[in-house]
Amino acid sequence: RVNRGDFMNALEEVHPAFGVSEEELQQVIQNGIIHFDGVVDEILRSGELFVEQVRTSTRTPLVSVLLHGPPGVGKTALGASIAQASEFPFIKLISPDSMVGYSESQKVAAITKVFADSYKSPLSVIVVDNIERLIDWTPMGARFSNAVLQALLVLFGRRPPKGRRLLIIATSSQRPILTDIGFSETFDSELRVPPISNLRALEFVLREVELFQSSDERRQVIKQLQEAGFEGDGLSSKFQIGIKKLLSMIEMARQEPDDVAQRLTGALVGLGM
Ligand code: ATP
Ligand code: MG
């Protein structure tokens, strides 16, 4: 027998045509967020403030933020985390990975639909990931899809309908190009996501991912890197690595249990910094 409770449960189980794409977001934050540096918390805190601004200020129904920085520094994961933490009823990720094989017009249609869907929700966050790849920008001859670019520029500038509020979080590894192609005035705010550039942050990550059994081993790695000429701090540092690459090096080193420390220092020194 089906009772009213079952019926209501079934309704809830129906996947909404629009809303929060939990899986999609979760997937890009797969490895979590490691708080290896104060700047990580600063970026998340700024994100929180933008979320609050959209939630509470009637004057700013549209706020757009750009997260930019070198490849692999964690822009997508940070953008997705900020979006997820908002708990807004509509959260969507627009990513080039989900549009592989799309024609130009299919891309424009897909992007436009996400924005149109967002306008049905009182509060929305859209993460527009990797703008340069969305517009198929290629360094050779500086070519790109003008149709996708124009669609983005229009949508980024369009106020949501009355009573609706939208936060746009865009990411890019090619900040200078955005200016060249007309994005310079588009964002209300920009946050730079820096690479890991000191050994203290590196050591923090190593501890967090539990690569070594003992802290001695971990310190050994740090010492070797210091001896290899890696400076320990700030501006004088030669050491720069994105968290994404570091995590993948760590997982590679982990495959060889005998010589984890040697493998990791080898790989890091091999970066030629
Ligand atoms: P790309 O330039 O290739 O687009 P990206 O800058 O977007 O790279 P991500 O794809 O976000 O980088 O990769 C960062 C990875 O590191 C994710 O798997 C994420 O879970 C993990 N991570 C761990 N700590 C952090 C952190 N503090 N900030 C961001 N990402 C982190
Ligand atoms: Mg990314």
Domain of residue 74: give its range: 17-192
- ipTM exceeding 0.95? yes
List the one residue out of 127, 116, 61 whose CA is nearest residue 94: 127
Q: What are the Cα distances from residue 202, in Å, to 169, 228, 267?
A: 27, 15, 14
Q: Which of 142, 159, 192 is the last residue of a domain?
A: 192
What mean pLDDT do residues 15-40 have?
84
Q: Give the domain CATH number at 90.
A: 3.40.50.300
Long-range contacts of 131-134 (CB under 8 A, 24+ apart): 131/170, 131/171, 131/172, 131/174, 131/178, 131/183, 132/172, 132/173, 132/174, 132/177, 132/178, 133/96, 134/94, 134/96, 134/99, 134/107
With a 6 Å cutoff on the Cβ, whether 130 touches ligand 1 is yes
Do 173 and 216 belong to one domain?
no
Determine the pLDDT at residue 18: 60
Determine the pLDDT at residue 233: 52
Determine the pLDDT at residue 200: 92
Do 130 and 255 belong to one domain?
no
Q: Which of 158, 192, 226 is the last residue of a domain?
A: 192
Mutate to test the pocket of ligand 1, among 43, 66, 191, 244 (most ligand atoms within 8 A of CB): 244
Ligand 1 center to residue 74 CA distance, Å?
Answer: 3
- pLDDT tops 80 at residue 103: yes
- Round to whole Å and give the CA distance between 241 and 52: 32
Determine the pLDDT at residue 234: 47
- Domain count of the chain? 2
243 is written with which tokens? 């968290």
Strand ranges for the chain from DSSP E = 62-68, 90-94, 123-128, 165-172, 189-192
With a 6 Å cutoff on the Cβ, whether 44 touches ligand 1 is no
Q: Which bound ligand lies closest to the C-alpha atom of 93?
A: 2
Starting from the edge strand earliest in sequence, which strands make up the sheet with 123-128, in order?
A: 90-94, 123-128, 165-172, 62-68, 189-192
- pLDDT tops 70 at residue 266: yes
**Which atom number of ligand 1 is nearest to the Cα of residue 36?**
27
Residue closest via CA to ligand 1's atom 20 equals 31
- Any domain includes 3: no
With a 6 Å cutoff on the Cβ, whether 31 touches ligand 1 is yes
pLDDT range class, residue 23, cuts 50, 70, 90: confident
Determine the pLDDT at residue 229: 77
With a 6 Å cutoff on the Cβ, whether 75 touches ligand 1 is yes
Q: pLDDT tens digits, residue range 152-186?
A: 999 999 999 999 999 999 999 999 999 999 887 89
**Which atom number of ligand 1 is nearest to the Cα of residue 73?**
6
Do 252 and 188 belong to one domain?
no
Do 116 and 247 belong to one domain?
no
- pLDDT tops 60 at residue 139: yes
83 is written with which tokens? 């979006």
Do 239 and 125 belong to one domain?
no
What's the distance, CA 262 to chain centroid? 31
Residue closest via CA to ligand 1's atom 3 equals 72
Do 157 and 84 belong to one domain?
yes
The overall average pLDDT reported for the chain is 89
